[in-house]
Structure 1
């Protein structure tokens, strides 16, 4: 008798546990708000593009960078040579040598005038004149040295230096080409980089600054059943002017620095919200390419054919959207 009571109690406990597990393994289908995403192409751009300009005119003798190279501020990009500068340097040296000779002669005359004045055979007027001629010659030599320094500085300006640290976008000159002062020798993008989007005008009211977007990785290769690898960014700016039926928006993302400028990548951007019916991924069973979901009814359990949509997030949980086959209030039986 005691064994029978024990068996009955155990059976009731097992039945209660099974019933509780069955109740906990049900998912009630209710409409949830889903953010509508639109896939567009974003173009990588640099907020700053700095031209490296030639400071003198002449012939390009050396080009030390190419498109895509990374340069640091102050690096030599190209060398420009003006043959007239070498001639001007020779002329400055010759003039300086002549003035140094005049200065030496003026110093000799000054020494002689001072000796004569000391001995009493020379006049003060002659000493004053020799002193003046020596001062004039000294100033002429100083002026010639300054003029030569100007010519030497012009020769140094033949080196075209990188104005900022960044990536070289274009180098529109070649060896032997003639450039004028102020002409672009290279264009450098120091960053920061961002993505520029161009969206249809109908989405203008739904795009807001600060909204989160998903950016596809470069060379995206998706295997069977794999989700695309994405990075997260945010809309940093929405431009108020619509041109040619398009609204422009900028997206900031941390890992965009290794992209090429003007490279395009896929971006999913929120453009609205809608109601959708969703179920947990484990509730879906696929047989011969057909998707089924088991639901609980008053007469028991039954499998229904469903048409699935995309994967969405509901309160940080992963769900699969059901396009048809279920209604709000259906109780889905989970395995």
Structure 2
């Protein structure tokens, strides 16, 4: 009976050993298939989030060219205008009167010129018969020249009056968006008064950075620009950064701030003066990163498996910011295990040179 019990116990132990071996085989195969990577510092840009204000390249005033009363205004704040478009009409009641006076003067001079031409023709005929002297003929010819010149001057004066009438049309000085219309129909204005303000020439972002970053930024830097927080219908939406370029850094520091301009496409739907977030690179730092799939989380604690002389060892780590996958043309070594994969910063727990086991 005792021998039977011993044989049963030995059989159970053998069965257990076989089960453990079967379990260990996949684990060993998985461990053998796992890749490794050697941690090395990675240089990443340090960015600062600031607000950029939408500015227009040109802010020009549409001014009255003559004095008078505004008859109509065809634009309002926010209207889109093209250069040369009529945006208002100014009426001067004196211009029609001056025009009628000029027309009457021209008719008088035309009649006098016709009489002078008749006298000249008669004098020329009489001169052939010797009935009049040469001085009388010269006098008639001079009179024709005088009336001709006077008529030309009167017609020029009438052209000036007509030009003044046409200048009653206020034209848009540039293509863009109307920002302000400080007058209303019926207002009395003088020549040079502002009728509207037009923002044109495209839009850019004006940044204001602390002066400690003045030496760390340079023209040509790539920046990230946030989209509008509110959509056209007023509903909040997710901010999706876009790529912009730092095109100008102003050499003067005012009130501890340095100004810079950023160009980015798609600012035409913004309000002039609207603010949006801009992330601008101001420094660089070294970080240690591992692929996100190399991190295991259990009970709220993050672990990374290291390959040591004694074998794989799990180490608790503290994670930092995440980094998006690198583009193929930006990856220094596309054959590396972490190339083109999302990585995460390791704040503590690992150091350069450690061998990280990857799944």
- Superposition TM-score tier, normalisation by shorter sequence: 0.7 to 0.9
Larger CA deviation: 321-330 vs 188-197: 321-330
Over 3 Å counting, the alpha-carbon distance change for 1:81 and 1:119 in structure 2 is same
Distance 1:163 1:149 in 2: 24
The 5-angstrom pairing of residues 269-284 of structure 1 reads 269-284=280-295
Contact 2:294 2:305 in 1 (8 A): no
Check the 8 A contact 1:74/1:161 in 2, yes or no: yes
- 3-state SS of the aligned residue for 1:256? coil
Q: If the length of structure 1 is used for normalisation, what is the TM-score?
A: 0.83
Mapped pair 1:152 → 2:162 = yes
Output one character per residue of 1:108-136: Cα deviation in whole Å (capped at 9) or x when no partner: 32233233334443333333222222221
CA contact (8 A) 1:42 1:267 kept: yes
Gaps of 5+ in 2: 1-24, 231-235, 332-339
SS of 1:236's equivalent in the other structure is: strand
Distance 1:63 1:327, change over 3 A: same
SS at match of 2:58: coil
Q: Secondary structure at the match of 2:150?
A: helix
Deviation at 1:257, TM superposition (A): 3.8
Partner residue in 1 for 2:248: 237
Whole-angstrom CA distance in 2 between matches of 1:259 and 1:181? 33
Match of 1:69 among 76, 79, 83: 79
- Equivalent residue for 1:308, pick from 316, 320, 343: 320
Aligned length: 316
Q: CA deviation at 1:285?
A: 4.5
Distance 1:272 1:312 in 2: 19
Runs of at least 5 residues in structure 1 that lack an aligned partner in the other structure:
1-12
Pairwise mapping of residues 48-67 of structure 1 onto structure 2 (< 5 A)?
A: 48-67=58-77
Residue in structure 1 matching 2:258, options 247, 270, 280: 247
Instruction: Give the Cα separation in 1 of the matches to 2:322 and 2:188.
Output: 59
Question: Corresponding residue for 2:98?
Answer: 88
CA distance in 1, matches of 2:166, 2:69: 14
**TM-score scaled by structure 2?**
0.78
Tell me the alpha carbon deviations over residues 35-57 of structure 1, each in whole angstroms, 9 at most, x when there is no partner.
Answer: 11111111121222222222112
Q: Distance in 1 between matches of 2:269 and 2:70?
A: 31
Is the CA contact (8 Å cut-off) linking 2:176 and 2:198 kept in structure 1?
yes
Answer yes or no: is the 8 Å Cα contact 1:36–1:274 preserved in 2.
yes
Q: Could you tell which deviates more after superposition, 251-260 or 88-97? A: 251-260
1:104-143 pair list within 5 angstroms: 104-143=114-153
The 3 A distance-change label for structure 1 pair 167 and 222 is closer
Q: Once structures 1 and 2 are overlaid, which stretch shifts more, 272-281 or 109-118?
A: 109-118
Whole-angstrom CA distance in 2 between matches of 1:235 and 1:157: 42
Query: Does residue 267 of the first structure (1) align with residue 278 of the second (2)?
Result: yes
CA–CA distance in structure 1, aligned partners of residues 354 and 27 of structure 2: 25
- Report if the CA contact (8 A) 1:117-1:124 is conserved: yes
Alignment match of 2:41 (pick from 26, 31, 56): 31
1:320 aligns to what?
Answer: 344
| TM superposition shift of 1:287 | 6.1
SS of alignment partner, residue 219 of structure 1: coil
* Conserved? CA contact 1:36–1:270, under 8 Å: yes
Contact 1:306 1:326 in 2 (8 A): no
Whether the 8 Å contact between 2:319 and 2:344 is mirrored in structure 1 is no
Kept after mapping to 2: 8 A contact 1:42/1:266: yes
